[in-house]
Structure 1
Amino acid sequence: MTIVEFLYARLDEDERAAHAASPGTGGPGRVRADVAAKRRIVNEYVRAYRSGVDAIGGRGAPASDDSWGALHAWRKALEHLASAYAGHPDFDRTWAVPQGENVPRR
């Protein structure tokens, strides 16, 4: 299972569970908005990844260092999203974000 497949599956579960969200958490609408935002992040990673693969395959302009950096940043975003599900049996420990990379709350 890839990190993308894992996240889509967890987001599907979260979306199905949204109806049970309490008003204290913003209710179902906030949960659905959160799921939609996370889906957009995963979709952008997939788009960036495909763009990079197309460039390698000669179907587009060669990827620049900037585009590889952007792809790396999207991948790190996915790893941070996946870390919320670290207790799930399908979580792959290679997706774990090292503790030093956690951003402290303000």
Structure 2
Amino acid sequence: MCFHQNARLTPSGRERLVRLARSGLAPKAVAETMGVCAKTVRKGMARFAAEGAAGLQDRPSRPHSLHRPIPAETQAAIVSLRRQRLTRQQIARKLRRVSWRLQLFRGWSHDEATRTVFP
């Protein structure tokens, strides 16, 4: 898995963090040694306690779900209008939506049926 560009620790760094914490060092001392905050140490230890070594692997930084997903009816309307070669702004006007919200849907509709429609 690719590392998150802002991640301070790699999986091997998190393993080292756990080893230091289990050796008896206080979370603050481990944090100073590793160049992270004590909260990161406590979070890493909690993940290790709950999941073992698997808890030390990278996790995606993307949210688990969209705050307000686009309804299925709207998604179908977007695909239908895109097949008519309407632009995002034209679709937004027709559906009375903000065009940037439609941009969120654009990546979801790259399937075989719409591959020729979505460049």
Whose Rg is larger? 2
- Normalized against structure 2, the TM-score is what? 0.24
- Normalized against structure 1, the TM-score is what? 0.26
